Amino acid sequence: MTELSLLIRSEQPIDDEAIERLHERAFGPGRYARTASRLREGAGHLPELSFTAMVGTLLVGSVRLTPVLAGREPALMLGPLAVEPAFESRGIGAALMRRSLDAARTRGHTLVLLVGDEPYYRRFGFKLIPQGLQLPGPVNPARFLALELEEGALARARGIVTPLPKEA
């Protein structure tokens, strides 16, 4: 099999439909009922921190970051991170993660939260969230993770995570 050239680029408005189809294939119809999805629903992701993975003209992966408040601490909610099932296990998700986290760090963000598999996200520096920070719905505490982009940001985050409303 030949090596495919992968391009990680900023998400574009024209990507919305392809990303929605990717989310359908990757997560199924139950994705809307998940607490993390409900939280992101009212806020809208930040295009400058959201990226796509392209193989030629085919969109094969996507990652988005959404602004939230972790109690009173500004933070970002990562997700969804999705890779086209036929392209999984090729490092695409890791490349998207690195790009989005680097962009968040460069823009001065201090804390990234997510709901996901700790063994996968640990390599990017994510760790379990200690008591004191909660999502506004049910979530397995062993899957609620954080990455400090600035030391002390997680210690300042207390209370319930809420979406930052979309700017008018």
The upper half-sphere exposure of residue 4, i.e. CA atoms within 13 Å in the direction of its Cβ, equals 17
**CA separation, residue 130 to residues 45, 91, 110, 126, 158 (Å):** 25, 29, 17, 12, 10
b/e for 133-145, b at 16 or more Cβ within 10 A? bbbeeebeeeebb
pLDDT tens digits for 140-166? 999 999 999 999 999 999 999 988 866
pLDDT over 60 at 101, yes or no: yes
What per-residue confidence (pLDDT) applies to 32?
A: 47
Query: Residues 68, 17: contact at Cβ < 8 Å?
Result: no
pTM above 0.85? yes
Please tell me the distance from the alpha carbon of residue 141 to that of residue 137, in angstroms, as a whole number. 11
pLDDT over 90 at 68, yes or no: yes
pLDDT tens digits for 19-29? 888 888 877 76
Q: Which CATH number applies to 6-163: 1.10.1530.10, 3.90.1170.50, 3.40.630.30, 2.140.10.30? A: 3.40.630.30
pLDDT tens digits for 109-129? 999 999 999 999 999 999 999
> Of the given ranges (101-110, 115-124, 132-141), which has the lowest mean pLDDT?
132-141
Q: How confident is the model at residue 3 (pLDDT cuts 50, 70, 90)?
A: low
